[in-house]
Amino acid sequence: MTDAATALDRFYSVIPAGGIGSRLWPLSRADAPKFLHDLSGSGRSLLRDTWERLAPLSGEQRIMVVTGRAHRAAVEEQLPELTDSNIVLESDPRDSTAAIGLAAAILEHREPGVIIGSFAADHVIANGHAFRETVRRAVLAADAGYIATIGIAPTEPAVGFGYIKTAGTLDIPGAHGARRVEEFVEKPDLATAKRYLRSNKHLWNAGMFIARADRLLEQLGKSEPELLAGLQELAAAWDTPSRGVVVDRVWPRLKKIAIDYSVAEPAAKDGALAVIPGEFEWDDVGDFASIAKLHSSGRGSELAILGKNARVLADASSGIVVSQSKRVISLIGVTDIVVVDTPDALLVTTSENAQRVKSVVDALRAGGSGDVL
């Protein structure tokens, strides 16, 4: 364990930029995934916002992005500061353990003792300062040997997020508020979510993990030794001429598993997982209801309009309109509506049904309409 300054000097931000965001179809697509859109109204893509939030913490030279080969050009356009050594391109998506684990293995190989923090490219955080302060505490927990996560203090009984059940407080120097994680719990129903809110023991799982890279890989090795071996083989070859050959051979065989299952839950069971409560506003903008809420300050009577040059005429209507075509969009007397208008696909639903968009995407795929996905 070292002091705060030293630990932060060894900190590296990792941004896995994957995932289409099926619940945001037809805005999010295979060729225009969620992280490339401005969903917060900041005028910047979620990816760019993530970068700017992390740069003051780790420095621009210490941010690694893991993304699909298909998105390379778009990512580099968003992040012109990104160097070739800090972009990891996946030939095909193999879930979050492979993405984050490979970044950890490469960085540990380059710089033993590095501390990494993994932050999704497509979440919205309102207060960057409070976010960074929370991460700094998590870095100290990581430096103390914990696998650390950040849990968001719930402000409502949300049913769209997973939760972290906390146990007793941990006394880690500099990591104020740290608690031991008892377990992760899946998205609850409303009654359960209300109980969680009252319990003061449950935090929203924001999917952020901060750990020494060697510690993370060690934890992974306990549950997924083969996957770890593959990642280490890749890492050893990464900065050598044989990268391409090894990637082609090893990457396609890596097990697809979320890091929540391969690392976080086992670590919680081992008592090795610490959570730092985050007091900042956070949203994973998982569906259109969530975007509508972000843009209307929570007032249900408003109509949020997303899209440059949107031509929307609304009468007695509320909800959200996303305009990606040049069409005039007229709404009359529709409340809590979700209208997403793109050149080749139109979605009309309600906030209440926003979570069901994914099933429509599945149906379109099954029905031979993959051209609009």
- Residue that is written with structure tokens 């998205």 in the block: 187
Q: Which of 30, 190, 229, 363 binds its own copies (CB under 8 A)?
A: 363
DSSP 85-123: GGEEEESS--HHHHHHHHHHHHHHHHSTT-EEEE--TT-
The answer to the question of residue 301 lying near its own copies (CB under 8 A) is no
Q: Which of 201, 243, 269, 311 binds its own copies (CB under 8 A)?
A: 311
> Considering beta carbons, is residue 26 or 101 the nearer one to its own copies?
26
Q: How far is the CB of 361 from its own copies (least distance, A)?
A: 9
The answer to the question of residue 305 lying near its own copies (CB under 8 A) is no
> Considering beta carbons, is residue 126 or 328 the nearer one to its own copies?
328
The answer to the question of residue 318 lying near its own copies (CB under 8 A) is no
Q: Which of 9, 126, 313, 365 binds its own copies (CB under 8 A)?
A: 313
Q: Which of 208, 217, 303, 337 binds its own copies (CB under 8 A)?
A: 337
Kindly indicate which of the ranges 58-66, 220-228, 259-267, 352-360 contains the residues binding its own copies, using the contact rule CB under 8 A.
Answer: 352-360
The Cα–Cα gap between 119 and 125 comes to 11
Q: Which of 201, 253, 326, 365 binds its own copies (CB under 8 A)?
A: 326
Binding mask 18-47 for its own copies (x = CB under 8 A): --------x---------------------
The answer to the question of residue 334 lying near its own copies (CB under 8 A) is yes
Among 204, 175, 133, which Cα is nearest to 274's? 175
> Considering beta carbons, is residue 249 or 327 the nearer one to its own copies?
327
How many residues bind to its own copies according to rule CB under 8 A?
A: 37
In contact, 86 and 64? CB cutoff 8 Å: yes
> Considering beta carbons, is residue 305 or 372 the nearer one to its own copies?
372
Among 274, 294, 13, which Cα is nearest to 164's? 274
Pairing of β 328-332 and β 311-315: parallel
The answer to the question of residue 339 lying near its own copies (CB under 8 A) is yes
The answer to the question of residue 333 lying near its own copies (CB under 8 A) is yes
Query: What contacts 24+ positions apart, CB below 8 Å, involve 267-271?
Result: 267/147, 267/181, 267/219, 268/181, 268/182, 268/183, 268/184, 269/183, 270/219, 271/180
Q: How far is the CB of 323 from its own copies (least distance, A)?
A: 9
Using CA atoms, how far residue 208 sits from 75, 77, 154, 162, 278, in Å, is 21, 25, 16, 12, 11
The Cα–Cα gap between 9 and 75 comes to 26
The answer to the question of residue 330 lying near its own copies (CB under 8 A) is yes
In contact, 170 and 178? CB cutoff 8 Å: yes
Q: How far is the CB of 16 from its own copies (least distance, A)?
A: 29
DSSP assignment letter at 142: H
Contact positions vs its own copies (CB under 8 A)? 26, 311, 313, 315-316, 326-334, 337, 339, 341-350, 352-353, 356-357, 359-360, 363-364, 367, 369, 372
